[in-house]
Structure 1
Amino acid sequence: MTAAGFAGVIFDFDGVLVDSEGIAYDAWVGAMGEAGERIGKQALMDAGNGLTNAMLLDWLREEHGWEPPAGFSDDLSRRFAQAFGPGAMILGAAETLAGLRAAGVPVALATNSSQEEMVFKLGEVGLSEGFGKHAYNPSHVGGRAKPAPDLYRHAATALGLRPQQCLVLEDSLVGVRAAVAAGCTVWGLTATHHDPALAGELLAAGAQRTLSSHAEVQAALGL
């Protein structure tokens, strides 16, 4: 079966299925202490959208000379876990997934989150069974995170498809570039973002179109 001509749909996670960015960066600011307050949540969000934690730490070292103190990763994880819950699911996301399942279109998840974080978040929002074995992160491709194309190529292959047969839903420039490089068609989703320039930036990065809600995604897919 297909939806809008696509044999499979691959989802990014944060910003596409769950609205966790605000929660995550509140945790970063809190765990960073004075440096987090000085740099600010918005600057961290702008720099870190779509990146792994390790990539954001590299940015903090290069741009601000900041090194994480002992225990930082554990503190960050604790703060995030305490704040994250079922309410993080983006409006309409569950219906998009249900519509694709009903149409017989296979789905996969491709996220830059760590394995532990991915499993935790999937469980908290009730999506573990929805993706089953088709939930992937850089640990499945030798640590090669987006913007490398490996993760999206891996997800497509695991579904038994070529990347050219798959649609990717993304909300970050890093993710769009990864999916385009993999050979997938990409739609940009801006449901959790408030920067009016983002849609144009996603298109410039290679997204075929942009959508502002899951209701628009469902209509575009004919669900």
Structure 2
Amino acid sequence: MSGLSLRQFVVDQHCVPWKLRLAVRRMVPWQYRRRLLHGRVNLNTPAAMDQRYRSQGTDFRSMENLYGRLLPLLPSQGRLLDAGCGIAVLLRTIRQRYPQLELHGVDFSPVAVERTREYGFAAQVAVLPDLPYDDGCFDAVTCTEVLEHLDDPAAAVRSFARVLRAGGWLIVSAPQDLDPDHCLEHVQDFDEPALRGCLSQTGLDLVHLESVEREPHRKPGVSWLAVAVKVGSDADRR
């Protein structure tokens, strides 16, 4: 290392260019890297989320860009279920725009469900893919930034399809992270083909798919927003 500063040696010899690091990360499945680092695959538990909701108070920062694209896609009346509702940030946003909608929420966090009920919504504790509802009882289901936390997102989407009426609409979003290691609670990475493939396994017809830029306060990346319809009726969603 004669004639070479320690700083330059570290830069030249040990700093792998970020594109190569990203390529290596993509070649090694997340599950294995997470298991090596953390000893388990899925870091999401009701207890962990309960603590998160308690520590962050009564609100999370809203996803303005995503919600701005999502809201015009919703029906203006009927029954809507928000799966993975958290503390009702999206439900409250929907209620402001569509007061005629009958709004319901489910989440696996008892703290989230309690908060959602305090805002005046019908809410139940449920662990996806299980949903405590009869077949065909909702006109729309929303699920925003949840599928990436699930070991089997396709099973959850099949449950959403089950509770939709014929002609009902599913609106989902999932993030594509530029640096997946910064989101250790994410066990899935969704790009456009991945989300399209997940929805194709459910018998729903995909009618819309777009990318939405993240808000400045969120990690770099995009979210993929998809709309699918349950085949079997020409019912007007409006």
Q: Give the TM-score of the pair, scaled to structure 2.
A: 0.41
Greater relative contact order, per chain length (Cα 8 Å cut-off, separation 6+): 1
Give 1 or 2: higher strand fraction.
Answer: 2
Q: Give the TM-score of the pair, scaled to structure 1.
A: 0.43
Structure having the higher Rg: 2
Give 1 or 2: higher helix fraction.
Answer: 1
